[in-house]
Homo-oligomer: A and B are copies of this chain.
């Protein structure tokens, strides 16, 4: 038996334990956006450090002003100058689990379940995003080390704890540890497959910038009978602002919003058309029929190659049971803008703020409390050699060509790896569109986990050749 086959056999034989280790992590509610869970984030980080140390990594919990990073290095005894050094990235923090009442099983009590469709899945917050994903390369490393005593490559693992809350500590950390973290390439495991049988490497990611606005009308909450009419209701103002963001063709109306957005190259459009993507099926899975983005653009273009303005939350006034005849003092909204091409996050924010200021009446105040920052879009050159090797390994495992695809999501770290550490990223993940990440009943298919581990075993082998 070759090394590779022995490692794959070992990984398969140890799969129940791999699942147990993942469940142990999922049980830790490491929600980075909520300070009440700071200790849980630390517990998750310490658990990973201890596990990697047990495999022979030099692993450390590294403090930041926010949640800690896990940094771990592995250098094979036989390594030479030409042994490639690769960084593997994931994140141990998760999204909040609310609304809790929509979960079929408690979000932090993971379960393995054969569903009525015959597919085995695991359910729990973080099973897919991103604990289940990054554990695929951790388990692949374990299989290599326990089978052969070593890894075929030099590896650095970077597992952060602030990905779901904007990664505020990441850039300073990369800058401060530039020499230590600069590798030949970065592998990021936080993306999807094309479908449950077809692997994919993601080469386009949208950028992201957040904003939060608060509109204040009257200085205090008022009785809607005694003041309704003359007193300006800030909800009315806020809805005018939000409603003005899109025209009837689904285009964003912020002045200058599309500066830096190019039409899709003909070749790329042709490749995407060849994917035979079913728009109807994609929408039907989430209860929809009509694409809501820009008219004249395909659904894949709308998600992979066009920018958006989304309201992620809105609130104001009385939202409990029954009625309360209140005319509130304040109304709020949280927004995100997904960016493509050369759109500049700061310019977009500024243009949005100016538009809002122009829409609110003199009597109202508006505050912007987004944290600034944001990241532009990423496009990774498809002729990158690490992509070619990964694609070969993926084809060996899945017996299908890996699709080079886009993603509507944002993984700003690819940008930072390139700009700060000078390395390209290869995005290989095993998530599926129906994983319900960020939603109730988040799940990860057992096959994603098991064959994800096997895929990394093969990729590491290929990279080490």
Contacts and interface: CB of A to CB of B under 8 A. Distances in A.
Interface of A: 33-35, 95-96, 98, 164-166, 192, 206, 208, 210, 212, 216-233, 235-236, 238-240, 242-246, 279, 282-283, 286-294, 299, 302-303, 306, 308, 310-329, 331-334, 336, 338, 361-363, 407-410, 433, 436-440
Nearest to A228: B308
List the 3 shortest-distance A-B pairs measured between CB atoms, nearest first. A219-B287, A225-B409, A33-B322
Given A242-B239, A310-B327, A283 B231 contact: yes
A208 B225 CA distance: 9
A456 B291 CA distance: 65
B334 A33 contact: no
B229 A306 contact: yes
A55 to B, nearest CB: 32
Q: Which of A283, A293, A306, A312 has the most CB of B within 10 A?
A: A312
Contacts of A333: 235
Contact of A229 (B230, B302, B438): B302
A107 to B, nearest CB: 13
Contacts of A245: 236
B303 A439 contact: no
B230 A236 contact: no
Given A242-B235, A316-B313, A322 B34 contact: yes
A164 B326 CA distance: 11
Contacts of A225: 206, 208, 338, 407-410
Q: How many copies does the complex hold?
A: 2
A294 B229 CA distance: 7
26 contacts: A33-B320, A33-B321, A33-B324, A34-B320, A34-B321, A165-B323, A192-B226, A210-B323, A212-B323, A222-B286, A226-B408, A226-B437, A227-B286, A228-B408, A230-B291, A230-B299, A233-B310, A235-B314, A236-B242, A238-B314, A289-B363, A290-B361, A312-B328, A313-B328, A318-B334, A323-B336
A314 B316 contact: yes
A250 to B, nearest CB: 8
A317 B313 contact: yes
B332 A439 contact: no
Nearest to A288: B363
A125 to B, nearest CB: 12
B208 A325 contact: yes
A42 B224 CA distance: 28
A64 to B, nearest CB: 17
A317 B310 CA distance: 11
Given A34-B321, A230-B279, 13 more contacts: A221-B438, A226-B407, A226-B409, A228-B338, A228-B408, A229-B299, A230-B288, A230-B291, A310-B325, A312-B323, A313-B316, A313-B317, A326-B438
A429 B20 CA distance: 71
Contacts of A288: 217-219, 230-232, 363
A303 B227 CA distance: 6
Nearest to A282: B230
Contacts of A410: 225
A363 B292 contact: yes
A311 B323 CA distance: 11
A420 to B, nearest CB: 23
A311 to B, nearest CB: 4
B236 A246 contact: yes
Given A229-B408, A243-B239, A303-B230, A315 B312 contact: no
A360 to B, nearest CB: 12
